[in-house]
Structure 1
């Protein structure tokens, strides 16, 4: 397969999976097994493309929150003052940043084999189904709530770290369901908070990794044309995927994603050699 086509496919995979609750890191690890391993800079670039797509989608909300954070404007977000909402986003990001640095200092590395990712996909699928049921019962008991509490914000920040430690878990799945279980019973409100807090988190992680790559001189032998193709593919597909997801969850649960994760995880465990 031509190199530019491999880069295009990896960009599309990143764009589709980054914000759907099916794990982008897990899918990229699996894809690279057949399409070939890519540089850290390449992976940073396609993640940046996905982030920019979400920034474009939420640009108006981001502007409202930025003004509110600076003490200007009186906008409201899901029934609460935008300034309070912005503070909670900052708190969630702060938890992720501090604990994420601790994890880095402890020397955590992503697995090089697919087997642990496959198990994470299976376990995550079961957890999603159970969490969906519990969230539905909670919503029936207390009604639909769009407000994000401080408890929700802090737990979402913690969930991002857990998802980073266990590839295959999915950052979006972990944060959305934690928000639903902790009290934000509206799927739309929980998803929006999860995506918004993911923007500074992913930008910070991307910047951290980029500095590391540049300091190590890892950009010298990069195929910039392939990287550009993958970046654009990631941005476009992420934009479409997120737009579709925001429409989908208005009338559907997340069960279909859990079924997909379960089928993929079981297939990988059955087809891959042990330890592969």
Structure 2
């Protein structure tokens, strides 16, 4: 049955990016899902937020929770709190790649980390993170010491100058940030370890918008099974993730205590480093 028959379904796409939506991976992923379900749900039209509106993720959550825009959808990191307030499409938008955390170090820290063999040794590391970042809370709950900085550029200087042992970022971010921060003297990046904890990013809609969530979920599954999702992912992430050489690293795996209310079904879509 075509539940969206007649005029096209208007869908409002939200993003915290300042670039046009045509340059954003999740916009194209959303289109894959909507295109794959046109036979069942009908045509659609994607609208932007009002011109000039580049909201924070906190504001995007409010838009979704308050139903401020027609069929509003955006991407966000899953957490117990957001899962309670919004309806999530439990498919990892980036195939879970940001859960693979690697990072920047000083020359001394690089040598220290290269010698790590055990979990006990790993947990002695002092992790550098941005103030208020979700990862800082996760890492503390896992058992790491965390030192925070308020300025993003300053985090690279903290790593280079031994204010902590490693500044962790997503595997897909290493190459870009390494090239951007060549001016930071003594900055290195670790090539030996990866700290993994699930950081699924889902499409979220208003809690009551079950039909749109179902359409996106169905479309994502169709696009994933056809290979279209992986093709798009490789276009946006493949080269950067291969730069990180995850398959050559010792990967230490942890649970994410901030999503313990979430089921595990989405994990079947998480990218396997051995296949990159």
Q: Above 0.5 in TM-score?
A: no
| Bigger proportion of residues as helix | 1
Over alpha carbons, which structure has the higher Rg?
2
Q: TM-score, normalised by structure 1?
A: 0.29
Q: TM-score, normalised by structure 2?
A: 0.29
Greater relative contact order: 1 or 2 (C-alpha under 8 angstroms, separation 6 or more)? 1
